[in-house]
A = this chain, B = another copy of it.
Amino acid sequence: MSQAHVLSGAARRFLEKHFPGDAAAFTPEEMFVYGTDASRRHAMPTAVVRPSTVGQIQELLAFAQANRLPIVARGRGTNTVGDCVPASGGIVVSMARMNRILEIDPDDFVAVVEPGLVTGDLQAALAKQRLFYAPDPASVKFSSLGGNANTCAGGMRAVKYGVTRDHILGLEAVIPGGELVHCGGRTHKNVVGLDLTRLFVGSEGTLGVMTKLTLKLLPLPAATATLALAFADVDTALTAAASVFAAGILPQALEFMAREALAAVAGISTVPWPAGAGAVLLIRVDGSAEAVAADIRLVETAVQSAAPLWRQAAVSHDDEEALWEPRRLLNPASFKVAPDKISDDVTVPRGRLRQAAAGIAATAGELGLKILLFGHIGDGNLHVNIMHDAADSHERARAQTARERILALCLSLRGTLSGEHGVGLAKLPFLDQQLSPVERALMARVKAAFDPHGIMNPGKAY
């Protein structure tokens, strides 16, 4: 067991002093849950702390740097690639107690929050003031804004509004040594100095611990509407999706589910898409009521040549939610198909989606696996769920082979290993297929500018 996995007496005394009562945990029983995340990986923390103040985090990062203790900060533990798992041991810092909305300013169109706040809680508070924080990862009801920031989370509305990165105006973070850094600011535009704000965003906890986020707000769109469409096959559905953009429409969301994904939710979905549907598109538009009505008509015209088998439009909130429900249920429903999955979020240039989907289907056929295919195709972002039974070593090996082929395929189409989940531990073995040694060395040097001794989430991301 390396030193990082054993807490010295001095370290324990330090933590007990600065994180009194239940703000620190040292027993395996208490710490166990802090060793995992939605990647289903696990490693036991050396200690767990639950700070309530920035000062506690500053003290911790001064001590940790001096004593070379790894630090793994976590929000709500929904990361899918292992970013919250203390694989090299170390102190897990749960940000869950720092979850306050510090400010919502309807004149500045700014919110200031602590990183442990659940994204959906902020959105609910904003909606009451007709304000809008655009990023909406699928985990919006249970993931935190700090986690979203650390992974640069995407979500369904990214096609129109961009990703988390585009909605963080500034942030406060503690870096190793305990110094407090203020990056960016409170204005919607700001070009003073190097853009450390966006460097922190997506850094997967490798540079410091974010302690405050200043978010860009927009006016809440007055209306939304959704059009659901079923097509004979994946290729036709993707052709129809392309025709929406070609018609000059930028939808709020453009989502896709292929046949196997539809089958997975068939039992729990009340949406009456036809049995023969090979793929479904869900297209949401937003704006004024008039704009939304006009855009839905334009979308219907644009997809006409792809001959949809079925269509259903929804303009009321409840009707819309009903159409979206199967998409939201897809992740939990997927485990009805098989007990285990490899879940990837590959992304290809929008024009390569049909090639990617065809290649993934071919891989599934060749290897005799069920692969659920769905995702944010407005961004070229495909969620690929390779279903298998990990207890069957042959099937597990075939699933692994499928993953390798699919990642290689997407890179060959000039895509990326991850559109929104990050690299973490899961994608690290594939990283050299995308980044050159020059780029990895550069990232390591940039990290060292923040974290010269490599204590922040070591062994992750890049």
Contact = CB atoms under 8 A, between A and B. Distances in A.
Interface of A: 105-110, 130, 151-152, 154, 158-159, 162-163, 165-166, 175, 179-183, 185-196, 198-199, 201-203, 206, 218-222, 242, 245-250, 287-291, 293-295, 298, 347-352, 376, 379-381, 414-423, 427, 431, 434-436, 438-440, 442-443, 445-450, 461-462
Contacts of A218: 250
Contacts of A219: 245-250
A376 to B, nearest CB: 8
Contacts of A290: 290-291, 293-294
Contact of A199 (B162, B175, B195): B195
Contacts of A348: 187
Contact of A182 (B380, B418, B439, B446): B439
B350 A107 contact: yes
Given A192-B416, A294-B290, A187 B349 contact: yes
Contact of A439 (B181, B295, B431, B446): B181
Contacts of A381: 187-189
Contact of A191 (B193, B350, B421, B443): B421
A422 to B, nearest CB: 5
Given A180-B438, A187-B348, A188-B350, 10 more contacts: A154-B191, A158-B188, A191-B202, A191-B419, A192-B423, A194-B202, A194-B447, A198-B198, A199-B446, A288-B298
B439 A196 contact: yes
Interface-central residue, A175, A222, A421, A442, by most chain B CB under 10 Å: A442
A189 to B, nearest CB: 4
Contact of A110 (B206, B349, B422, B434): B349
Given A185-B414, A222-B248, A415-B187, A193 B443 contact: yes
Given A187-B419, A246-B219, A108 B195 contact: no
B181 A438 contact: yes
Contacts of A416: 185, 187, 189-192
A225 to B, nearest CB: 12
A124 to B, nearest CB: 18
Contact of A166 (B162, B191, B294, B352): B162
B189 A379 contact: yes
Given A110-B349, A288-B298, A294-B291, A192 B447 contact: no
A256 to B, nearest CB: 15
Nearest to A292: B291
A189 B442 contact: no
A189 B158 contact: yes
Contact of A106 (B165, B203, B246): B246
Contacts of A414: 185-187
B192 A418 contact: yes
Contact of A189 (B105, B242, B249, B380): B380
A155 to B, nearest CB: 10
Given A190-B416, A246-B219, A291-B288, A202 B195 contact: yes
Contacts of A191: 151-152, 154, 202, 416, 418-423
Nearest to A152: B191
Contact of A195 (B152, B298, B417): B152
Given A107-B350, A183-B439, A295-B288, A203 B194 contact: yes
Contacts of A107: 242, 349-351
